[in-house]
């Protein structure tokens, strides 16, 4: 664990995260964009895996309190999913509702549209439970979309876009249903957007003292050198869920690699990439899981005051 930019930092060994069933996947193997939840005495992490065969896979594993991968805990999760595209599983998110665990993911950036799927998982084996179902929007669904963010104590609400702050609702169950617009708020984040780009989806929001805090990402730069960075905003926990804090600066998460890579780029358009997919708040600390440069999994541990310092209250 290293100190960097006021954050404690864990970077994972890729080989520790490859399930036994995928040890045959041709190198180079990139493991990145992890998401994180707590399960009693340990952590569950899900992440993307891309080998030289270009198949996009999702795996899960257990982490102990020192954020070490528990031996023999890795699960080749996407091998067990049926009824969906088996070659493209992108950017998972883990979501916990009381004693139930869910994972959702998308099918990448494909024309004419991509798809979002939700699946319940067994908290002991990390294998799928019940049927997978597709998440849809009844009207004005983006043809190419990623990074929905569920929040609350049910699968009823999700942030569909950040600005405008578009909230969808549903009576979604394990049988699935299309989500409908509940409320939309347009808010002023122009100063930040001019410097750092628009806020895009990230980790499922965390509730703290009546506000949901959301760790998301932005994109700046030009073709062949797009820079992905982390940022934070918050919104009210009560209807109509209006934004309450806006980012005043990017959220600095450690990246010892900067723009360098061990392997050729997966996406030729990007440069340095910090891509947050998981964020858990406990006892004044944030545990933020993120991908670095489409190659590596990392976790940063921040004090809440550090996160607050990157935001400004909305009057």
- Output the pLDDT for position 134: 87
- Output the pLDDT for position 73: 97
Q: Mapping DSSP to helix (H, G, I), strand (E, B) and coil, where does residue 300 land? A: strand
Q: What is the pLDDT of residues 204-216, one digit of tens each?
A: 999 999 999 999 9
- Output the pLDDT for position 176: 55
Per domain, the residue ranges of the chain are 2-313
Low-confidence ranges of the chain (pLDDT < 70): 1-6, 171-177
Give yes or no for a contact between 298 and 12, defined as CB atoms under 8 angstroms apart. Answer: yes
- Output the pLDDT for position 173: 55
Quote the CA–CA distance of 248 and 123 in Å, as a whole number: 38
Q: What is the DSSP string of 49-108?
A: EE-TT--EEEEEEEE-TT-PBPTT--B-GGGG--SS-TTB-EEEEEEEETTEEEEEEE--
- Output the pLDDT for position 82: 86
- Beta carbons within 10 angstroms of residue 98's beta carbon: 7
Q: What is the pLDDT of residues 243-297, one digit of tens each?
A: 999 999 999 999 998 889 999 999 999 999 999 999 999 999 999 999 999 999 9
Quote the CA–CA distance of 72 and 268 in Å, as a whole number: 34
Q: Given the DSSP bridges, would you call strands 157-161 and 149-151 parallel, antiparallel or unpaired? A: antiparallel
Quote the CA–CA distance of 267 and 60 in Å, as a whole number: 24
As a CATH number, domain 2-313 is 2.115.10.20
- Output the pLDDT for position 113: 83
Quote the CA–CA distance of 145 and 137 in Å, as a whole number: 11
């Amino acid at each position: 664990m290293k100190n960097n930019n006021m954050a404690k930092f864990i970077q994972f060994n890729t080989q520790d995260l490859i399930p036994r069933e995928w040890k045959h996947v041709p190198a180079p193997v990139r493991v990145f964009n992890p998401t994180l939840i707590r399960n009693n005495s340990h952590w569950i992490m899900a992440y993307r895996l891309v080998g030289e065969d270009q198949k996009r896979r999702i795996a899960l594993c257990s982490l102990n309190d020192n954020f070490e991968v528990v031996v023999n805990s890795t699960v080749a999760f996407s091998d067990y999913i049926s009824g969906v595209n088996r070659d493209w599983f992108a950017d998972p998110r883990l979501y916990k509702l009381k004693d139930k665990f869910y994972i959702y993911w998308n099918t990448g950036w494909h024309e004419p549209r991509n798809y979002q799927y939700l699946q319940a998982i067994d908290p002991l084996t990390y294998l799928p439970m019940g049927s997978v179902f597709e998440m849809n929007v009844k009207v004005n669904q983006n043809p190419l979309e990623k990074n929905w963010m569920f929040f609350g104590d049910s699968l009823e609400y999700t942030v569909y876009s950040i600005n405008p702050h578009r909230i969808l609702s549903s009576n979604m169950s394990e049988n699935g249903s299309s989500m409908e617009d509940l409320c939309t708020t347009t808010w002023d984040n122009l100063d930040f957007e001019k410097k750092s780009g628009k806020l895009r989806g990230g980790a499922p929001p965390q509730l703290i003292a009546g506000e949901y805090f959301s760790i998301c990402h932005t994109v700046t730069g030009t073709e062949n050198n797009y820079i992905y960075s982390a940022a934070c905003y918050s919104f009210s926990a009560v209807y109509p869920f209006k934004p309450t804090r806006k980012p005043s600066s990017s959220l600095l998460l450690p990246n010892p690699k900067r723009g360098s890579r061990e392997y050729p780029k997966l996406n030729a358009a990007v440069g340095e990439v910090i891509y947050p997919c998981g964020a858990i708040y406990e006892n004044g600390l944030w545990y933020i899981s993120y991908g670095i440069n489409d190659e590596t999994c990392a976790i940063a541990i921040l004090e809440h005051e550090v996160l607050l310092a990157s935001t400004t209250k909305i009057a």
